[in-house]
Amino acid sequence: MILVTGGLGYIGSHTCVALQRAGHALTIVDNLANSKIGVLERIRALGGGSVEFHRADLRDGPALAAAFERHPVEAVIHFAGYKAVGESVAKPLEYYDNNIGGTFVLLDTMARFSVHRIVFSSSATVYGDPQRLPLTEDHPLGAVNPYGRTKQFIESILTDVAAGTPGFRHATLRYFNPMGAHPSGRLGEDPRGIPNNLFPYITQVAIGRLQKLRVFGNDYDTVDGTGVRDFIHVMDLAEGHVAALRYLLEKDRSITANLGTGRGNSVLEVVGAFERVTGIRIPHEFAPRRPGDVASCYADVSRAFAELGWKTKLGIEDMCRDGWAWQSANPQGYPD
């Protein structure tokens, strides 16, 4: 049994489908802080395996322990947390409490149940402003906002716990920019309010929920002046977790690895790809740069390939096609 925290969220839901297809039985723990219960039935239908669900907050130790009690847990995949950079600046204590506090209770509960394997959702944000590109895992860390600092701190906690606990192994996965959706159009990204990420913003303009895409900065030193990011299809990212889990269970070593494509695309290139794939024009306007945004950010992905045997298979147009299939079939996101 694999226990998945935050398994009803965007990346977690796609990963739960991939894990079932790889033959794993799952227990999901989620408090629905940023997801809806209707996702569960879709995860079950698409994955075709066994999925238990516990509605619980990670910080509630007894409720979390109840999820560990039912079946022996082989490993944990830990997605649960808050993820909005801007909100983390406004509400740092909530971010430290939920992300670090939640991880603390999780690790403590794992220790009590002698569970020694964890895959953790880290982020490219831990690198801060890149000193060189592509970003390799040994690039100095220097998160520039509270959200990124929670990730950096949790990485240190995992290293310390591994050093102090014989047999404890972690796979720390630094995601670049996940985008797209399950190709069925049944699962996808369902942000509340105005999206923080580029792609849901584009699709909400396409369906008419928002009028115009605001592009933050067109004077960066990049191919067309707009920011460049390493966009990765969420299905490729999901497979990255299956590979990391296999690594932990078979190789019995810890690893920290970037998960990206290794290529950068500018904001305007993504808009162009979306327009080509869907035939829908996306009106956009330029706005000033956002504080803390960097010009370019993309991964060196050689470690993930060498160690996990994983690399991405899908490109920007696949992300646009599948993301659009989701948004057009579910214009209001998941039902309440």
Ligand X SMILES: NC(=O)c1ccc[n+]([C@@H]2O[C@H](COP(=O)([O-])OP(=O)(O)OC[C@H]3O[C@@H](n4cnc5c(N)ncnc54)[C@H](O)[C@@H]3O)[C@@H](O)[C@H]2O)c1
**Residues within the interface to ligand X (CB under 6 A):** 5-6, 8-12, 29-35, 57-59, 79-81, 83, 98, 102, 121, 123, 175, 178, 197
**Partners of 255 in the β-ladder:** 171
Nearer to ligand X, 57 or 236 (CB): 57
Among 259, 266, 220, smallest CA distance to 243 is for 259
User: C-alpha angle 175/181/187, rounded to 5°?
Assistant: 115
Query: What is the closest distance, in whole angstroms, from the C-beta atom of residue 84 to ligand X in the complex?
Result: 9
Query: What is the closest distance, in whole angstroms, from the C-beta atom of residue 10 to ligand X in the complex?
Result: 4
Q: Give the per-residue SS3 of 245-295.
A: HHHHHHCCCCEEEEECCCCCEEHHHHHHHHHHHHCCCCCEEEECCCCCCCC
Cβ contact 247:255 at 8 Å: yes
Residue number, nearest CB to ligand X: 9
Q: Which residue intervals of 23-118 are DSSP H helices?
A: 38-47, 61-69, 85-90, 92-95, 102-112
Nearer to ligand X, 81 or 128 (CB): 81
Nearer to ligand X, 104 or 113 (CB): 104
CA 115 from centre of chain: 23
Active-site choice (95, 127, 147, 298):
147
Query: What is the closest distance, in whole angstroms, from the C-beta atom of residue 335 to ligand X in the complex?
Result: 16
Q: Retrieve residue 294's tokens.
A: 């960097």
Kindly write down the DSSP assignment for every residue of 141-168, as one continuous string: P---SHHHHHHHHHHHHHHHHHHHSTT-
Query: What is the closest distance, in whole angstroms, from the C-beta atom of residue 13 to ligand X in the complex?
Result: 8
Q: Please list, in sequence order, all residues whose beta carbon lies within 8 angstroms of the beta carbon of residue 114, skipping any fewer than 6 positions away.
A: none
Nearer to ligand X, 175 or 201 (CB): 175
Among 109, 139, 111, 93, smallest CA distance to 260 is for 139
User: C-alpha angle 163/159/247, rounded to 5°?
Assistant: 95
Among 106, 101, 79, smallest CA distance to 8 is for 79
Query: What is the closest distance, in whole angstroms, from the C-beta atom of residue 105 to ligand X in the complex?
Result: 9
Nearer to ligand X, 178 or 323 (CB): 178
Nearer to ligand X, 122 or 218 (CB): 122
CA 12 from centre of chain: 7
Examine the residue annotation and report whether 147 is marked as an active-site residue of this protein: yes
- d(CA 243, CA 310) in angstroms, rounded, equals 7
Query: What is the closest distance, in whole angstroms, from the C-beta atom of residue 4 to ligand X in the complex?
Result: 10
Nearer to ligand X, 105 or 280 (CB): 105
The number of residues making up the chain comes to: 336
Query: What is the closest distance, in whole angstroms, from the C-beta atom of residue 281 to ligand X in the complex?
Result: 26
SS3 of residue 177 by DSSP: strand
Tell me which residues are annotated as active site: 147
